Structure formats: structure tokens, C-alpha cells
């Protein structure tokens, strides 16, 4: 049995954005920070008590927990995990997301949960990659890094907007179906019908992905957050 380090087990299994019991009467008390020493989630008001501990900020995008790729890849090898570009920040989902229907066909899919992915990625989330390594009997130490605690120091949270609103600007204008549907249509796949029209991804972004692939760049997915407005319906004059 391959053992996960305590911080990795906790990061994947922890519940984030629940109200902190210690600071239940304070505003902005959502537990959106993970202490890599204590292996548990804490709220911004708890941070001073963990001043000497390495801390990782978790953000929420459309009801799912994400971490900036720049932060996560200091801890673990994130290669072949599909990133998403949201508000100019590359993020990785911590856990797999439920799918409305199973995928059939020749699409490029996640090795663990069968979600449709863009080439050349193999995993839709960090947990999917970790689970795959474990199921294959691999050594997790081969993808873990010895991180520098100064990269996760208390000082990075001073003056930072701790509610994660720098990632999710207008939750009331974003719906899971329009933003996080599988991004590209794939020929020969029964999962790809209307995927381009429902994905919320512009044609220009798809062309950009194709150009960057030729340069060996592992692209994220650029999501368009534009809000479509229909024509107003007026009652006929009597």
C-alpha cells in the first residue's frame, strides 16, 4: 500500500470554505487556507497562530476548490494535470468533478475519472493523478518535492484578499454548465455534441492553444467569462 504524506492526504480530503468554528462570529471566516504543518484548513483569522508554519491558499472556482499552479508545483509534480486559466491565473483543481454522463468514444480522457481533457493532459485534477500513481503501485516520492518553507511564509498573506474573490469575481454571473463543461469537441466522441457552444471558450482561445502546442508549451484553457444577453421580450400593446 502506497502511503500519502500527511499534508497531501489532508489537502485532498479537507473541506474548505466552511465557516471556522473558532471564529464563527467574525466576518470572512471561511477556511480557505491550508496549513502544511498541521495538515488542516484554517481561516484568515487563524493565520497569526500559524505564523511560523508554511501556508497554502486555496481558492474556489464555481463551487470547486482550486490552487494556483505556481504554488502547487512547488510541492508536487503537476505535469499532465490539466490547468485552467482564470482571470490571468493558472489554477489546478484539487479533486475530480462529477460528470453528467459517462464518456464514450475516442476522446482524450482522464486516466482516473474519464473526464474529457485537452491534449496532451492525462489528469483533470491533482487527486486524479495521485490516485492513478497509487493504483499503479508507483512511488509517490517520485512526484513530491522537498519544498522551501519560505515560499509559503506568513508574509505572503499580509494585505492579501483572503476571500478568494481575486479568482471568482462574479459568482452570480457564472454557471457550472457554461464555464466548466468539457472544453473542446472531439471527432468520433459521443461526449462532444455542442461542447464548443456550451463551454464558454472563445474560438480565438482555441486557436491560441493550437499555436502554443507547436512550441512545446503545456497550455491552460482560457475561459471566456462574457455574459450573453438575450433580446428583451415586451408585452404587445393592447
What residue spans define the domains of the chain?
6-160
Between residues 192 and 155, the one the model is more confident about = 155
Q: How many CB atoms lie within 10 A of CB 178?
A: 18
Give 19's strand partners. 30
Tell me whether strands 84-86 and 221-222 are parallel, antiparallel or unpaired. parallel
Edge-to-edge strand ranges of the sheet holding 84-86: 59-61, 64-68, 89-93, 84-86, 221-222
pTM, two decimal places? 0.67
The average pLDDT across 50-65 equals 93
- Separation CA 56–CA 161 (nearest Å): 14
164-193 tens-digit pLDDT: 444 333 332 322 322 333 333 333 333 443
- Separation CA 112–CA 165 (nearest Å): 30
CB burial string 80-102: b at 16+ within 10 A, e below? ebbbbebeebbbbbbbbeeeeee
Which stretches of 112-202 are DSSP H helices?
Answer: 126-135, 176-179, 195-198
pLDDT for residue 122: 96
The average pLDDT across 36-43 equals 96
Q: How confident is the model at residue 154 (pLDDT cuts 50, 70, 90)?
A: confident
84-133 tens-digit pLDDT: 998 889 999 999 988 777 666 778 999 999 999 999 999 999 999 999 99
- Separation CA 158–CA 143 (nearest Å): 30
Q: How many CB atoms lie within 10 A of CB 38?
A: 16
Give 40's strand partners. 35
The average pLDDT across 132-152 equals 91
Radius of gyration of the chain (CA): 20
- Separation CA 11–CA 1 (nearest Å): 19
Amino acid at each position: 500500500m502506497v502511503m500519502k504524506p500527511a499534508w497531501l492526504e489532508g489537502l485532498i480530503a479537507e473541506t474548505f470554505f466552511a465557516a471556522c468554528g473558532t471564529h464563527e462570529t467574525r466576518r470572512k471566516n471561511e477556511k480557505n487556507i491550508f496549513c502544511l504543518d498541521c495538515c488542516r484548513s484554517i481561516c484568515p483569522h487563524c493565520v497569526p497562530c500559524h505564523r511560523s508554519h508554511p501556508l497554502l491558499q486555496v481558492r474556489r472556482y464555481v463551487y470547486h476548490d482550486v490552487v494556483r499552479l505556481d504554488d502547487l508545483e512547488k510541492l508536487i509534480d503537476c505535469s499532465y494535470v490539466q490547468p485552467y486559466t482564470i482571470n490571468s491565473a493558472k489554477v489546478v483543481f484539487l479533486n475530480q468533478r462529477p460528470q453528467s454522463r459517462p464518456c464514450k468514444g475516442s476522446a482524450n480522457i482522464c486516466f482516473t475519472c474519464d473526464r474529457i481533457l485537452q491534449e496532451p493532459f492525462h489528469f483533470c485534477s491533482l487527486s486524479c493523478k495521485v490516485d492513478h500513481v497509487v493504483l499503479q503501485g508507483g512511488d509517490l516520492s517520485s512526484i513530491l518535492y522537498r519544498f522551501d518553507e519560505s515560499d509559503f511564509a506568513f508574509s505572503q498573506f499580509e494585505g492579501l484578499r483572503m476571500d478568494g474573490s481575486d479568482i471568482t469575481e462574479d459568482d452570480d454571473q457564472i454557471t457550472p454548465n457554461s464555464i466548466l463543461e468539457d472544453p473542446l469537441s472531439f471527432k468520433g466522441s459521443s461526449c462532444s455534441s455542442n461542447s464548443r457552444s456550451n463551454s464558454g471558450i472563445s474560438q480565438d482561445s482555441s486557436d491560441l492553444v493550437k499555436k502554443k502546442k507547436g512550441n512545446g508549451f503545456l497550455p491552460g484553457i482560457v475561459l471566456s467569462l462574457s455574459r450573453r444577453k438575450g433580446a428583451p421580450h415586451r408585452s404587445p400593446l393592447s
